[in-house]
C-alpha cells in the first residue's frame, strides 16, 4: 500500500482535511469515507454518468477522478441540492414530470443538468438531448427527463 496523501476538499460547503490512499477514486471517497451515498456508481468506466458531481462548478465523472486530483477543489454532490422537504426547482421539475423511475441514474442526471442549465440559456430539444447523452438511464426512455429539464430551463 502506498503512503497516504493529505487532501483538503470542500464538499457541499463542508471542508474536509483527510488522509487518503493515492488510488482512492473520488466516487469511493464520497460514498465510503464521507458516507455521501447519493453519488452512484453505474459502470466505473466513465460511460454511464451516474457518478457525475460538480467539481468547481463543472460536471465530472467521479469514477474517473482520483481523490487526490480533487485536492483543493469544491465539490457539489446531489446531497448539496435541495432537501427532502425543500426540493430545488430542478428536483421539483423531475418530480412533476416523472423524470425518474428507479432513481439510480437520477443524481448523475441532476448534476449534469445543473451544469448544462448553468451554462446554456436556450437549448433546443436536440441540444438538450445531446447535452444529456453522456448520462445513461435504463428506465425512463428519457422523454420525461427531457421534459423536466426543459421545464426547469424555461422557468
Partner 1 sequence: MSKSSDGGIDLTRPKIIGAPVQRLEDPRLLTGHGKFTDDVKLRGTLHVALRRSDHAHARIGTIDTAEAEEMPGVVGVFTAELLDALTRPVFATSKMKDYHATPVRALAGGKVRFAGEPVVAVVAQSRYLAEDALAGIEIDYTPLEPVVDPEEAAADNAVKLHDHLPGNVLVARRFGVGDVEQAMGDAPIKVGGRFRFHRKTPTALEARSYLADYDQGTRALTLYASTQVPGIVRDALVEVLDMPGSKLRVIAGDVGGGFGGKASLNPEEILVCALSRHLGRPVKWTADRVEDLISTSQSFDEIVDAELAVDQDGTFLALKADILGDVGAFSIYPWTAALEPMQVAGFLPGPYRVPNFSANVRAVATNKAPMGPYRGVGRPISAFVLERLVDMAAKKLAMDPKEIRLRNFVKEEEFPHRTGSGIVWDRSGFTECLERAADAINYPALRKRQAEARADGRWLGIGIASYAELTGIGSRLSAAPGMPINTGTESATISVDSSGAVTAHFGIASHGQGLETTLAQIVAEEMGVRLEDVEIVQGDTSAVAHSTGTYASRSAVIAGGAGTLTARTLRGKIIEAASHLLDVDMADIDFADSLISARGTNKTMSLRELARAVYSQMGSLPGDIRAKVDLQASEFYDPHFGTTTSATHLAAVEIDPETYEVSIEKFVVVEDCGRVINPMIVDGQVHGGVAQGIGAALFEEVVHDVTGQNISATLVDYVIPSAAEVPSMEVHHLDVEAPSTLGGYRGMGEGGTIGAPAAIANALNDALSHLGVEIMELPMTPERLFQVISAAQDGEAESS
Return the range that interacts with ligand FES (CB under 6 A); candidates 6-14, 30-38, 68-76, 94-102: 94-102
By beta-carbon proximity to partner 1, the closer residue of 30 and 73 is: 30
The Cα–Cα gap between 28 and 12 comes to: 16
Choice from 9, 20, 26, 48 touching ligand FES (CB under 6 A): 48
Minimum distance of partner 1 from residue 114's CB (angstroms): 12
Residue 119: name its binding partner from ligand FES, partner 1, none (Cβ under 5 to 8 Å by kind): none
Return the range that interacts with ligand FES (CB under 6 A); candidates 29-37, 113-121, 132-140, 147-155: 132-140
Residue 51: name its binding partner from ligand FES, partner 1, none (Cβ under 5 to 8 Å by kind): ligand FES
**Interhelix angle for 143-154 vs 125-132, to 10°?**
120
The Cα–Cα gap between 25 and 29 comes to: 6
Does 38 bind ligand FES (CB under 6 A)? Our answer is no
Residue 125: name its binding partner from partner 1, ligand FES, none (Cβ under 5 to 8 Å by kind): partner 1
Choice from 33, 44, 74, 79 touching ligand FES (CB under 6 A): 44
Which residues sit at the interface with ligand FES, rule CB under 6 A? 41-44, 46-51, 61, 63, 100-106, 137-140
Amino acid at each position: 500500500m502506498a503512503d497516504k496523501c493529505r487532501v483538503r476538499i470542500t464538499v457541499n460547503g463542508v471542508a474536509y482535511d483527510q488522509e487518503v490512499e493515492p488510488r482512492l477514486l473520488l466516487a469511493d471517497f464520497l460514498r465510503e469515507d464521507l458516507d455521501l451515498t447519493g453519488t452512484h456508481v453505474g459502470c466505473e468506466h466513465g460511460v454511464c454518468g451516474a457518478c457525475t458531481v460538480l467539481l468547481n462548478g463543472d460536471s465530472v465523472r467521479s469514477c474517473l477522478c482520483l481523490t487526490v486530483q480533487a485536492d483543493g477543489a469544491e465539490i457539489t454532490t446531489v446531497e448539496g441540492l435541495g432537501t427532502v422537504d425543500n426540493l430545488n426547482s430542478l428536483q421539483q421539475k423531475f418530480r412533476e414530470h416523472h423524470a425518474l423511475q428507479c432513481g439510480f441514474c437520477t443524481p448523475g442526471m441532476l448534476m449534469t443538468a445543473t451544469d448544462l442549465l448553468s451554462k446554456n440559456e436556450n437549448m433546443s430539444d436536440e441540444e438538450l438531448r445531446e447535452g444529456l447523452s453522456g448520462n445513461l438511464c435504463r428506465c425512463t426512455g428519457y422523454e420525461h427527463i427531457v421534459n423536466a429539464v426543459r421545464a426547469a430551463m424555461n422557468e
